[in-house]
Amino acid sequence: MKQYDIVIIGGGPAGLAAAVAAKKAGNDNILILERDHELGGILNQCIHNGFGLHTFKEELTGPEYAYRFIEQVYELGIEYKLNTMVMDISADKVVTAMNREDGMFQIPAKAVILAMGCRERPRGALNIPGYRPAGIFSAGTAQRLVNIEGYMPGREVVILGSGDIGLIMARRMTLEGAKVKVVAELMPYSGGLKRNIVQCLDDYGIPLKLSHTVVDIEGRNHVSAVTIAEVGPDRRPIPGTEERYTCDTLLLSCGLIPENELSRSAGIDMSNITSGPIVNESLETSIPGIFACGNVLHVHDLVDYVSEEASRAGENAVKYINAGCKAHEGSNDIQLVATSGARYTVPSTIDPENMDKLLTVRFRVGDVYKNCYVNVYFNDERIMHNKKRIMAPGEMEQIILQKKKIEEYPDLKTITIKIEKD
């Protein structure tokens, strides 16, 4: 098997952008490993528009956005293998993968970029009581069936969860002739974009019931009805609030989980909050030379941010190789701490030596905050004080740190992000 400098796990938006950036940064020895039969990842089934406003200043559909990067991969002559599943990544960066033609093979890489994306939370994790019949799909599985394969799961639909995929599927199923009866959301707010609530639900008169969940699924062989009920502040159903909907399909859109089996078995340190690897300013994981980007690192709201982050991972992988693959020393690392409403930060540490002039730090909040401030503290001193009219868990927030500013604080040990009233 041919040797490669950089092996990228996943040919979705993150992997493609990382590959293109690495190539442009001067590395000619890159391989993308993609498990599906085409590049583009999940974007291929996201046929709705709304992608790329930040990157391309125009609204594209998912396949179009993916194709902008796929074209570059072709033009730059970046190698890729399709229908290829990565089975293992070792701590010393040997990638084991498999396909029909090559069998199982191993590639020792100088750098590995993790770009495996995420998957949907399954029903089991939600603990919905009732039968386990046909007719229950994660929204993404239904999306693939409808958009790629051209099959309708059913005609009468209930959707649990108001994540964007669920909202998008409410509209898709409606346009394909199904009746979407209700979207139930456990939380008192929707995790989806306002635009999707208006244009996918309101446009078609589909009710969204906040603080509601599914309490029963009927039908031994196939879903025949679903009962939803209101939940209290403890998110437990309130007896007496049950409403029954006859339906043949239940779609679940209840959150996404970074797909990190490979990262875990490689021994990479993981965050309990994002379920993604813990990374430094270079998007490098706890194993030197293994980088992470996109939804495998933390679930993003916009693909534009995935591409931007992945480009940085690609460039940093090249930097790492060009600098002789040296392990990051780390003694001057500044810790980033998210607290008081901020749930996590990516990255988790900053080595000022390695940081660019500007560094984007992304984070999410744990609740809906109105008219609050994002406050950033260098040690105990408040450095940034940004008013935000609204922040919600469904949207990623960011702050931009300046290298110049950090260098003014030689004793800087921690940078803390807090959501505060003033």
Partner 1 sequence: MEKRELTCINCPMGCQLTVEMEGNEVLSVSGNTCPRGDIYARKEVVNPTRIVTSTVRIIGGDKERCSVKTANDIPKGKIFEIMKDIDAAVAHAPVKIGDVLVKNAAGTGVDVIATRNIHQI
Partner 2 sequence: MIYDVIIIGAGVTGSAVARELSKYNTNVCVIEKGEDVCSGTSKANSAIIHAGYDCQPGSVMAKMNVRGNAMMGDLAKDLDIPFERNGSLVICIYEEEFGGIKELYERGLKNGVPDLKILNHDECLAIEPNVTDKVVGALYAPTAGIICPFKLNIALAENANVNGVDFRFNTEAEDLKCDENGIWHIRTNNGEYLTRYVVNAAGVYADKFHNMVSNNKIHIRPRRGDYLLLDKTTGGFVKHTIFPQPTKFGKGILVAPTIHGNTLAGPTAIDLDDKEAISTTQDGLDQVIEKATMSVKNLPLRQVITSFAGLRAHEDNHEFILGEVEDAPHFIDCAGIESPGLSSCPAIGEYIGNLLRDKMGLEEKEHWISTRKDVVATADLSIEERNELIKKNPAYGTIICRCESITEGEILDAIHRPLGARSLDGVKRRTRAGMGRCQAGFCSPRVMEILHRELGIPMEQIKKNDIGSEIVLERTKGESK
CA 234 to chain centre: 27
- Nearest one of 378, 337, 329 to 353, comparing CA atoms: 329
Q: Which stretch binds partner 2 (CB under 8 A): 80-88, 281-289, 297-305, 307-315?
A: 80-88
Question: Binds 61, which of partner 1, partner 2, none (CB < 5 to 8 A, cut-off by type)?
Answer: partner 1
Kindly tell me which residue out of 215, 278, 350, 401 binds partner 2, with binding defined by CB under 8 A: 215
In this structure, what DSSP letter does residue 145 have?
I
Q: Cα-atom radius of gyration of the chain, to the nearest Å?
A: 22
Kindly tell me which residue out of 101, 234, 411, 422 binds partner 2, with binding defined by CB under 8 A: 101
Q: Is 90 in the site for partner 2 (CB under 8 A)?
A: no
Q: Which stretch binds partner 2 (CB under 8 A): 92-100, 187-195, 197-205, 311-319?
A: 92-100
Report in angstroms how near the CB of residue 67 gets to partner 1 at its nearest: 6
Report in angstroms how near the CB of residue 44 gets to partner 1 at its nearest: 7
Q: Is 269 in the site for partner 2 (CB under 8 A)?
A: no
Q: Is 234 in the site for partner 2 (CB under 8 A)?
A: no
Report in angstroms how near the CB of residue 21 gets to partner 1 at its nearest: 23
Interface map 105-134 toward partner 2 (x if CB under 8 A):
-x------------xx-xxxx-x-xxxxxx
Question: Binds 91, which of partner 1, partner 2, none (CB < 5 to 8 A, cut-off by type)?
Answer: none
Under rule CB under 8 A, which residues in 143-172 are in contact with partner 2?
144-146, 149-155
d(CA 301, CA 265): 27
Angle (nearest 5°) at CA 213 between 210 and 219: 140
SS (HEC) of 70-117:
HHHHHHCCCEEECCCEEEEECCCCEEEEEECCCEEEEEEEEEEEECCC
Could you tell me how many residues of this chain bind partner 2 (CB under 8 A)?
52
Contact indicator for 317, 6 with CB cutoff of 8 Å: yes
Q: Which helix (H) or strand (E) holds 32?
A: strand 30-33
Question: Binds 324, which of partner 2, partner 1, none (CB < 5 to 8 A, cut-off by type)?
Answer: none
Report in angstroms how near the CB of residue 176 gets to partner 2 at its nearest: 5
Omega within 30 of 0 (cis) for the link into 277: no
Report in angstroms how near the CB of residue 319 gets to partner 1 at its nearest: 34
Report in angstroms how near the CB of residue 163 gets to partner 1 at its nearest: 14
Q: Is 176 in the site for partner 2 (CB under 8 A)?
A: yes
Dihedral class, residue 335 (left if φ above 0, else alpha if ψ from -120 to 50, else beta): beta
Report in angstroms how near the CB of residue 211 gets to partner 1 at its nearest: 16
d(CA 416, CA 114): 27
Q: Is 273 in the site for partner 2 (CB under 8 A)?
A: no
Under rule CB under 8 A, which residues in 385-404 are in contact with partner 2?
none
- Nearest one of 389, 127, 164, 146 to 295, comparing CA atoms: 164
In this structure, what DSSP letter does residue 215 have?
E
Cα first-last separation, the chain: 59
- Strand 225-230's sheet: what is its strand order? 212-218, 225-230, 243-246
Tokens of 159: 């959707």
- Nearest one of 166, 155, 185 to 247, comparing CA atoms: 155
Question: Binds 300, which of partner 2, partner 1, none (CB < 5 to 8 A, cut-off by type)?
Answer: none
Report in angstroms how near the CB of residue 365 gets to partner 1 at its nearest: 10
Closer residue to partner 2, CB minimum distance, 49 or 83? 83
Report in angstroms how near the CB of residue 415 gets to partner 2 at its nearest: 29
d(CA 222, CA 312): 47
Report in angstroms how near the CB of residue 264 gets to partner 2 at its nearest: 8
The neighbouring-strand residues paired with 286 are none
Contact residues for partner 1, defined by CB under 8 A: 44, 47-49, 59-64, 67, 146-150, 172, 175-176, 193-195, 197-199, 202-203, 368, 370, 389-392, 394-395
User: Which residues are near partner 2 by CB under 8 A?
Assistant: 35, 83, 85, 87, 96, 98-104, 106, 119-120, 122-125, 127, 129-135, 137-138, 140-141, 144-146, 149-155, 176, 215-218, 220-222, 237, 248, 264
